[in-house]
């Protein structure tokens, strides 16, 4: 089994690596839960499942201090199936939106957001 999402540097291989990642996330978001937001779709070779991940950031995670903020992250899981089993799984979600919800990055359109764009070399956009 192979898993990847925007926050893992390298794809995770095997159930042990995936379980270790899940333990890390559950430690940081102990009340985490996943709710489906639409039907699962499959053609027999591939499957997708839209969902939202909800939880409160209570413990440090990979150098990020606990923010104690409740976040909702919409995610789509896309999986390759082999012999009726999950083989390769990819999670797609808005990393910037999650960082904004956690308070790590400023909301777009705010003065802080414009300052960040200026620092990144994009200049100020007209309002």
* Nearest one of 27, 79, 83 to 55, comparing CA atoms: 27
Whether 119 shows a pLDDT value over 90: the answer reads no
* pLDDT at site 31: 97
* pLDDT at site 8: 93
Task: Dump pLDDT digits (tens) for 94-109.
Answer: 998 999 999 888 777 7
Whether 125 shows a pLDDT value over 70: the answer reads no
Topology classification of domain 2-93: Nuclear Transport Factor 2; Chain: A, (3.10.450)
Within 10 angstroms of residue 29's Cβ, the number of other Cβ atoms is 20
Whether 36 shows a pLDDT value over 90: the answer reads yes
Helix (H, G, I), strand (E, B) or coil at 108: coil
Tokens of 125: 């956009």
Task: Dump pLDDT digits (tens) for 37-84.
Answer: 999 999 999 999 999 999 999 999 888 899 999 999 999 999 999 998
How many angstroms from the chain centroid is the CA of residue 101? 12
* pLDDT at site 127: 59
Q: Would you list the domain boundaries of the chain?
A: 2-93
Tokens of 44: 């027999």
């Amino acid at each position: 089994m192979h898993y990847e999402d925007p926050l893992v540097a390298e794809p995770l291989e095997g159930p042990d690596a995936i379980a270790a990642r899940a333990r890390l996330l559950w430690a940081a978001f102990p009340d985490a839960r996943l709710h489906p937001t639409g039907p699962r779709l499959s053609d027999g070779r591939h499957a997708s499942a839209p969902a939202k991940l909800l939880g409160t950031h209570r413990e440090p995670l990979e150098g990020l201090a606990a923010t104690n903020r409740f976040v909702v992250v919409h995610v789509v899981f896309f999986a390759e199936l082999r012999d009726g089993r999950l083989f390769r799984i990819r999670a797609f979600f808005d990393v910037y939106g999650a960082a904004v919800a956690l308070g790590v990055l400023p909301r777009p359109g705010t003065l802080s957001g414009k300052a960040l764009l200026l620092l990144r070399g994009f200049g100020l956009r007209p309002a």
